[in-house]
Amino acid sequence: MTHKSKPSKIPWPTKDAMQQVYEHNLWGGGDISFYSGVGSHDVATIQPYIEEVIAFFKSLESPPVVCDLGCGDFNVGKELVPYTQAYKAVDIVPELIKYNTKTFKSEHLSFATLDLAKDPLPQGDIALLRQVLQHLSNAEIQAIVNKLYAYRYVILTEHLPDQEFTPNIDIISGQGIRLKKHSGVALQAPPFNFKVKAAKQLVSLPAPGVKGRLVTTLYTVV
């Protein structure tokens, strides 16, 4: 008796996958034009994050230049802008960036369309990556990690399992994350082995409405 092998999934370009998420409101939001999911809107989830990040910004000698890598619908980022010298927000979806540019205005705020894995990243002091890497393949994460050494600090938020887990099981980039494989992104573990001077957990909260936790870590890079 022969068993038919399960056909392997063909990776979809990350840009196309993310455009579909917003076009079809796959992360919810009803009739809202662009919605980055409950993790970007649940007050009990985002308020502790905002408070911790602002407190860190204020602890620095001067307001930082912040690069929001994967800014999404900017519901979180807009609260951080006043505490920065410059805020550079980027995302892979052109329509989202066009909408954000029209919607959010500040003298030191800019938006740009970028593929984090393929394009040069904006220059700055701090890179913010909030629930971005969790949607990407290991190859794309590695390409991004290689560029994170240009920043003084990286503030990373990832959706992780509640219990011990096997880190960095590979996935195809897109809407889903590693949680269903009982995995999550851990940058300091293989294969990424992100080398930093220090790592400090800023926030760890239950993920709203689903299993797992949203864990935010501050990495001191240089």
The answer to whether 87 touches 116, Cβ cutoff 8 Å, is no
Select from 191, 174, 71, 190 the least CA-distant residue to 121: 71
**Residues whose CB is less than 8 angstroms from the CB of residue 2 and which lie 6 or more positions away in sequence, other chains included:** none
Model confidence over 74-132: pLDDT tens digits? 999 999 999 999 999 999 989 999 999 999 999 999 999 999 999 999 999 999 999 99
Residue with tokens 């689903």, as numbered in its chain: 210
Q: Residues of the chain with pLDDT > 70: what percent? A: 82
Preceding omega of 191 cis (within 30 degrees of 0):
yes
Q: How far apart are CA 117 and CA 2, in angstroms?
A: 41
In this prediction, residue 23 carries a pLDDT of 57
**Full-model pTM:** 0.85
In this prediction, residue 168 carries a pLDDT of 98
In this prediction, residue 29 carries a pLDDT of 47
Per-residue pLDDT at 63 exceeds 90? yes
pLDDT band at 209 (very low <50, low <70, confident <90, very high): confident
Rg (C-alpha) for the chain, rounded Å, is: 17
Per-residue pLDDT at 16 exceeds 60? no
Q: How far apart are CA 78 and CA 115, in angstroms?
A: 21
Per-residue pLDDT at 20 exceeds 60? no
Per-residue pLDDT at 24 exceeds 70? no
Q: Which fold has domain 32-220?
A: Rossmann fold (3.40.50)
Model confidence over 128-181: pLDDT tens digits? 999 999 999 999 999 999 999 999 999 999 999 999 999 999 999 987 899 999
Give the start-to-end residue ranges of the domains of the chain. 32-220
